[in-house]
């Protein structure tokens, strides 16, 4: 389950997802709001998950099953964990560039203090770096990083990357009620992001089921206040507070399409039913996957979502 979609992205248009981290979830963070669920293996040491040639061939094969209506804007490394934990990331990007489709990476930035990681990520055309917290305490509370990581070193790594990177750089900040929605805290955070000079700073709220059930969306007035603070520092800001839509690419194989998507992207019921229609499948296959405990159904903010369920998480 390496590729999925394409899916509609609020940031990237039509994006073909590349999951270069094998399950169960392997990450350097265990964020309380993560839509993929809890981190099963917490680490900050890059390793091999898939050989680059395997990823390249999977992506190339996936593209042959997409119709002309699914013209891609990007191929995006958005993994079941942190994509920069893949020690072969740079080599994989070099292979994928043969397909002549722009490449994006969504990273938490925790490994950018490593020169070799920065060098790999710089190969991408578009990079989103997560910056949720302005201090060690909030970082530990919200992102729950691997114990071997240092907040100061993490910020230094992101600043170094930003100073070297020649592509489109953006930041993404998740706002949670009662955790990091304090005005003073966001003034400090804006100070950090200002130094990165991103082309765009995205502000997110948890629109999908989070890994910790107590996580809550902030008041919309708080989001507006953050936008004001960022704008005062001349940071080009955009809030991501809505549903992306139901436009999802399909290959004709409902099992592959569904399981590949929900491994990293919980699927709302209306989008799921459209995918079933496109793949000429009926709801009985979903019921079968639920009975086998391969997928699970959760409710969040009045909507029904379908998520991947691994034996480690039962």
Condensed to tens digits (0 to 9), the pLDDT of residues 106-161 reads 999 999 999 999 999 999 999 999 999 999 999 999 999 999 899 999 999 999 99
* Same domain? 25 vs 71: yes
| Residue 313 predicted with pLDDT over 70 | no
- Long-range CB contact pairs, 307-314, < 8 A, 24+: 307/37, 307/209, 307/262, 307/266, 307/267, 308/23, 308/37, 308/259, 308/262, 308/263, 310/23, 310/24, 310/40, 312/24, 312/40, 313/24, 313/37, 313/38, 313/40
Residue 254 lies in a domain: no
Mean pLDDT of 166-174: 95
Which among 140, 76, 72 is positioned nearest to 105, based on CA atoms? 76
With 0.75 as the threshold, say if the pTM is over it. Answer: yes
Query: Which among 240, 256, 277 is the end of a domain?
Result: 240
The domain in which residue 165 lies consists of 3-240
Confidence at residue 1, expressed as pLDDT on a 0 to 100 scale: 67
Query: Which among 179, 205, 240 is the end of a domain?
Result: 240
Residue 314: pLDDT band (50, 70, 90) is very low
pLDDT tens digits for 48-103?
999 999 999 999 998 888 877 777 899 999 888 999 999 999 999 999 999 999 99
> Could you give the 3-state DSSP secondary structure of residue 77?
strand
Residue 312: pLDDT band (50, 70, 90) is very low
Residue 274: its H or E element: helix 269-278
Across all residues in the chain, what is the average pLDDT?
Answer: 86
Q: Structure tokens of 305? A: 């979502």
Residue 256 lies in a domain: no
pLDDT tens digits for 6-54?
887 778 888 899 999 977 789 999 999 988 888 989 999 999 999 999 9
Q: How far apart are the first and last CA of the chain?
A: 20
Which among 279, 262, 256, 273 is positioned nearest to 67, based on CA atoms? 279
* Same domain? 152 vs 271: no
Give the number of domains in the chain.
2
pLDDT tens digits for 214-267?
888 888 788 888 888 988 899 998 877 644 544 566 666 776 777 667 666 677
- Count the residues in the chain: 314
Residue 111 lies in a domain: yes
């Amino acid at each position: 389950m390496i590729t999925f979609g394409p899916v509609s992205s609020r940031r990237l248009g039509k994006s073909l997802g590349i999951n270069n981290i094998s399950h169960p979830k392997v990450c350097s963070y265990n964020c309380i709001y993560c839509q993929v669920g809890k981190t099963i293996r917490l680490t900050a040491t890059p390793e091999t998950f898939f050989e680059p040639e395997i990823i390249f061939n999977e992506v190339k094969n996936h593209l042959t099953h997409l119709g002309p209506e699914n013209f891609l804007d990007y191929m995006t490394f958005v993994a079941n964990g942190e994509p920069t934990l893949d020690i072969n990331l740079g080599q994989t990007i070099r292979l994928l560039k043969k397909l002549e489709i722009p490449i994006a990476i969504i990273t938490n930035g925790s490994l950018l203090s490593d020169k070799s990681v920065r060098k790999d990520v710089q190969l991408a055309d578009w990079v989103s770096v997560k910056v949720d917290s302005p201090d060690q305490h909030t970082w530990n509370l919200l992102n729950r990083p691997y114990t071997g990581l240092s907040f100061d070193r993490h910020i230094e790594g992101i600043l170094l990357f930003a100073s070297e990177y020649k592509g489109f750089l953006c930041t993404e900040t998740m706002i949670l009620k009662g955790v990091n929605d304090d005005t003073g805290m966001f003034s400090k955070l804006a100070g950090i992001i200002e130094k990165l000079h991103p082309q765009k700073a995205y502000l997110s709220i948890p629109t999908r089921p989070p890994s910790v059930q107590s996580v809550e969306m902030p008041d919309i007035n708080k989001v507006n206040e953050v936008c004001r603070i960022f704008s005062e520092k001349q940071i080009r800001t955009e809030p991501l507070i809505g549903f992306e839509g139901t436009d999802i690419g399909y290959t004709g194989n409902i099992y592959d399409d569904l399981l590949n998507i929900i491994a990293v992207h919980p699927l709302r019921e209306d989008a799921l039913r459209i995918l079933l229609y496109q793949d000429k499948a009926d709801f009985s296959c979903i019921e079968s996957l639920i009975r086998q405990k391969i997928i699970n159904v959760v409710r969040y903010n009045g909507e029904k979502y379908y998520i991947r369920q691994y034996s480690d998480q039962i």
